Amino acid sequence: MLDLFSSGIMSLWLEMAGVRSVGLNAASVLAWEGGMPGLVLAVDLAVGGVPLANPDLPAAATVREFLTDLKAKGLIEGNQGVWMQSGMVPLVSQQGTTLMPGASLTKIATSLASLETWGANYQFETRFRGTGPIAQGVLQGDLVVSGGGDPLFVWEEAIAVGNALNQMGITRVAGNLIVTGNFRINYQSEPVAAGEILRQALDGRSWPPDVQAIYSKMAPGTRKPQVAVDGGVIARKFLPASRLLLKRRSLPLAEILKQMNVHSDNEIAQMLADNLGGAKIVQQQATWAAGVPAAELQLVNGSGLGMENRMSPRAACGMMQAIGRYLQTTPLTIADLFPVSGRDLGTVEYRHIPPQAVVKTGTLDSVIALAGAIPTRDRGLVWFAIINRGTDWDSLRAQQDLFLQKLVQQWGIAPTLPLAMEPHIDGAKPALGAANRSDILLGG
């Protein structure tokens, strides 16, 4: 049964009750979980059948048509979830508060918890230390890499480290390469294996063809590093006595999240969740920041792999909105963290989602999900979440895209792009390997 909600009662109550002074997230939780008298009454009355101030009946009809078409084509099974709202105004809901497998919509929660913990400009640090002096181009001792949790430390980053070591005058390490801390390279987490990859990256004279191909796409003028390690690769739990030589700062968190979400990268998502303390920490931080009931988000990892990650469409919407609110205090927007239809590649490259929509896709064996925001003429910025159950991925995606196109036809195309959706980060050109993120310290 399709539910319709009042278009003005909730926002009016928020202002009358002075809720904004205690925080939008707290107000939402109190309202939905029954902790704020009066505010809950307004919401309950709207759901319970009091005449609606301004229900979006055309949108409700379009949702019914969408679900009827899916059923007629045999594309759906089980619960189908839809939630849409404009600002704080709920527009339409189809099982909008029901827990469903969210697939990679889980990465919305991981993105939100990461922002709340570290901030959009945060950079993970990978530190390089030496256990001996530098003489005539040789580090007389071991080179120690101490990982700081950078989830996007890849070939280009290691090449930049090699060039920074050369800049310091180091061309050879007489001792071993020692790996400590939370160090991963190319998603490899086993310390010795990761160390071997790093060792190879530091010396351009021994690169295989695939590394040569990556190097060829780096910024013009990038040198090939030449740092040979005489010894082996050793993993240690504790940092040996040494002096700090170099810090390699990661891409800013916002750019890491953009890469994660554009390509729906499960490895990056899980590394971030692990750095945060695990799935339950992500769940707690995301529900509080978004102001959604804790019962509407249940996570077992940070990526969305597995049917055990479940959320309501309303929770997915709320978390996207919370990210938008968070970014209002920065120069960035949600378009800098998620793929933009018609602009980014990755998971939206072959979709027909309305142009300029900012979205996150989700796919599992029997789940196709989509959440985000669409700029419209009549309803402003419309936030939505769609979770469909079915196995015909291509057809479900096509139907979701068509459904959103019909809604935009009803509401009209926004004459100008809202400031809250203007992109600043180019997801196709991450500055991997940029020399300006290496801080040479020489033991300082």
The answer on 389 and 268 residing in a single domain is: yes
Find the DSSP H helices in 218-342: 253-262, 266-276, 279-290, 313-327
Tens digit of each residue's pLDDT (9 = 90 or more) over 291-317: 999 999 999 999 999 999 999 999 999
In a domain, 10, yes or no: yes
| Identity of the amino acid at 100 | M
Which CATH number goes with the domain that contains 373? 3.40.710.10
How far is the C-alpha of 47 from the C-alpha of 21, rounded, in Å?
Answer: 26
Q: Tell me the torsion sign for CA atoms 316, 321, 326, 330.
A: positive
In a domain, 112, yes or no: yes
In a domain, 440, yes or no: no
How far is the C-alpha of 156 from the C-alpha of 215, rounded, in Å?
Answer: 7
The answer on 409 and 340 residing in a single domain is: yes
Which CATH number goes with the domain that contains 184? 3.50.80.20
How far is the C-alpha of 121 from the C-alpha of 231, rounded, in Å?
Answer: 37
Last residue of a domain, one of 235, 250, 265: 250
In a domain, 443, yes or no: no
The answer on 276 and 242 residing in a single domain is: no
C-alpha pair distances (Å), 120 with each of 124, 154, 256, 433? 12, 21, 10, 20
The answer on 140 and 241 residing in a single domain is: yes
Average pLDDT over residues 111-133: 98
Please report which confidence band the pLDDT of residue 324 belongs to, taking 50, 70 and 90 as the band edges.
very high
The answer on 270 and 146 residing in a single domain is: no
What size, in residues, is the chain?
Answer: 444
Tens digit of each residue's pLDDT (9 = 90 or more) over 329-357: 999 999 999 999 999 999 999 999 999 99
The answer on 303 and 243 residing in a single domain is: no
Is the pLDDT at 29 greater than 50? The verdict is no
Q: What is the pLDDT of residue 55?
A: 55
The answer on 296 and 273 residing in a single domain is: yes
Please report which confidence band the pLDDT of residue 76 belongs to, taking 50, 70 and 90 as the band edges.
confident
DSSP 8-class letter at 7: S
To which residue do tokens 């801080």 refer? 439
Which residue from 179, 149, 317 is spatially nearest to 239, judged by alpha carbons? 179
HSE value, Cβ hemisphere, 13 Å, CA-based, for 190:
4
How far is the C-alpha of 164 from the C-alpha of 302, rounded, in Å?
Answer: 33
- Which of helix, strand or coil describes residue 145? strand
Q: What is the pLDDT of residue 22?
A: 34
In a domain, 73, yes or no: yes
CB contact at 8 A, 302 and 284: no
Count of domains forming the chain: 3
In a domain, 438, yes or no: no
The answer on 199 and 65 residing in a single domain is: no
How far is the C-alpha of 86 from the C-alpha of 25, rounded, in Å?
Answer: 16
Number of Cβ within 10 Å of residue 117's Cβ equals 17
CB contact at 8 A, 109 and 129: no
Can you give the pTM of this predicted structure? 0.89
SS3 content of the chain, % helix, strand, coil (to 5): 40, 20, 40
How far is the C-alpha of 213 from the C-alpha of 241, rounded, in Å?
Answer: 37
CB contact at 8 A, 278 and 109: no
Please report which confidence band the pLDDT of residue 54 belongs to, taking 50, 70 and 90 as the band edges.
low
Q: Judging by DSSP bridges, how do beta strands 134-135 and 297-298 pair with one another?
A: unpaired
The answer on 285 and 234 residing in a single domain is: no
Last residue of a domain, one of 210, 233, 250: 250
The answer on 385 and 273 residing in a single domain is: yes
How far is the C-alpha of 363 from the C-alpha of 18, rounded, in Å?
Answer: 40
More confident position, 318 or 48: 318
In a domain, 442, yes or no: no
How far is the C-alpha of 370 from the C-alpha of 361, rounded, in Å?
Answer: 5
Tens digit of each residue's pLDDT (9 = 90 or more) over 142-155: 999 999 999 999 99
The answer on 306 and 183 residing in a single domain is: no
Instruction: Write out the residue range of the structural domain in which residue 196 sits.
Output: 125-250
Percentage with pLDDT > 70 across the chain:
87
The answer on 381 and 259 residing in a single domain is: yes
In a domain, 439, yes or no: no
Count of H helices and E strands in the chain? 13, 18
Is the pLDDT at 86 greater than 80? The verdict is yes
